């Protein structure tokens, strides 16, 4: 029997009790059979401070996976690399590109100071640890579920619209059960789920957890996602971060018995 996989939210926009703190960012810790993988670092060193309060030693993390290059997901990178001297950083090479929200720079801080010997740049689905897969290829089947507006990047010194070629997701496989973690879903959570389900065809989708980047989009983007989920609803649906609490209310109307809000300090066992 496969061992349970535990997902602990170290940093997220919201927090309830426990003496923890929240911020606009996301950081998740995945644990299985004594192994630890960190998914994003939030916007600061807050995820480290919260981990200490929860009795978690991040020096034991073996892999840090970066979902994409935005600062609310990579802001704690330098803090983590100083704390943990052994973890490999897994991401797409495009994470290093400068990024902008309109005119405001919001990409990876001080990329020129990073020790790239600690990085593993991935282009194909790769099993990092038993049952934990980095999924860097996220083709867009439905352009309606993309979230690119106001975002830009530099390619060969030229500023252009950002289509988030740096984005990746995590897939967790436990026997025939599958979970998908997506930090911001700029390329669309429905597109991400299509890809991962195709990669692991003989599995049952049990958990989807992450941000869907629809906080300011009204009901239009929600309806695109809800239509897909009405046919492919996982057993557990955890939303957070850039999904927005107003959109959470919409999801609750449709999927109340499967839905939860994944706030700072939440521990989900898969």
- pLDDT beyond 80 at 9: yes
Q: What angle do CA 162, 13, 254 make, to 5 degrees?
A: 85
- pLDDT beyond 90 at 3: no
Average pLDDT (251-269) is: 96
Answer for the pair 98, 152: CB distance below 8 angstroms, yes or no. no
How many other CB atoms are found less than 10 A from the CB of residue 147? 22
**Percentage of the chain lying above the pLDDT 70 cut:** 99
Highest mean pLDDT pick, 14-18, 172-176, 215-219? 172-176
Is the pTM for the entire model greater than 0.95? Answer: yes
pLDDT digits (tens, 9 = 90+) for 178-228: 999 999 999 999 999 999 999 999 999 999 999 999 998 889 899 999 999
For 210, residues 6+ apart whose C-beta sits below 8 A from its C-beta are 26, 169, 180, 181, 182, 183, 184, 185, 189, 238, 239, 240, 241, 262
Q: What is the pLDDT of residue 217?
A: 86
Q: What is the pLDDT of residue 160?
A: 97
For 27, residues 6+ apart whose C-beta sits below 8 A from its C-beta are 9, 10, 11, 12, 38, 39, 40, 41, 42, 47, 73, 76
Buried b / exposed e over 231-252, threshold 16 CB at 10 Å, is eebbebbbbbbbbbeebbebbe
Domain boundaries, the chain: 6-269
- Strand ranges (DSSP E) for 44-145? 63-65, 88-91, 99-101, 104-105, 119-121, 126-129, 132-135
Q: What is the pLDDT of residue 155?
A: 94
Q: What is the pLDDT of residue 132?
A: 97
How many other CB atoms are found less than 10 A from the CB of residue 52? 11
Q: What is the pLDDT of residue 2?
A: 65
How many other CB atoms are found less than 10 A from the CB of residue 56? 18
Q: Between β-strands 204-210 and 177-182, what pairing exists: parallel, antiparallel or unpaired?
A: parallel
pLDDT digits (tens, 9 = 90+) for 26-36: 999 999 999 99
CATH architecture for segment(s) 6-269: 4-Layer Sandwich (3.60)
Average pLDDT (95-106) is: 97
- pLDDT beyond 90 at 18: no
Answer for the pair 157, 184: CB distance below 8 angstroms, yes or no. no
**Nearest Cα to 138, choosing from 179, 95, 199?**
199
């Amino acid at each position: 029997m496969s061992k349970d996989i535990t997902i602990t939210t170290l940093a997220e926009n919201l927090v309830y009790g426990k003496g923890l703190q929240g911020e606009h960012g996301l950081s998740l810790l995945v644990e299985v059979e004594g192994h630890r993988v960190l998914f994003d670092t939030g916007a600061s060193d807050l995820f480290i401070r919260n981990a200490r309060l929860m009795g978690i030693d991040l020096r034991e993390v073996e892999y840090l996976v970066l979902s994409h290059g935005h600062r609310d997901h990579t802001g704690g990178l330098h803090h983590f690399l100083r704390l943990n001297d052994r973890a490999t950083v897994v991401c797409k090479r495009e994470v290093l590109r400068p990024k902008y929200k309109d005119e405001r720079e919001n990409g990876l801080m001080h990329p020129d100071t990073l020790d790239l010997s600690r990085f593993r740049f991935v282009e194909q689905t790769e099993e990092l640890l038993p049952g934990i897969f980095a999924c860097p290829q996220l083709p867009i089947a439905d352009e309606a579920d993309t979230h690119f507006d106001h975002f830009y990047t530099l390619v060969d010194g030229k500023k252009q619209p950002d289509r988030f070629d740096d984005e990746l997701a995590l897939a967790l496989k436990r026997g025939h059960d599958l979970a998908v973690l997506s930090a911001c879903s700029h390329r669309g959570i429905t597109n991400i789920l299509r890809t991962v389900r195709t990669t692991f065809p003989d599995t049952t989708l049990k958990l989807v957890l992450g941000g869907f980047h629809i906080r300011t989009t009204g009901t239009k983007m929600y309806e695109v996602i809800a239509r897909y989920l009405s046919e492919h609803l996982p057993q557990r649906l955890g939303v957070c971060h850039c999904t927005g609490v107003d959109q959470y209310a919409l999801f609750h109307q449709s999927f109340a018995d499967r839905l939860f809000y994944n706030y700072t300090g939440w521990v989900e066992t898969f």
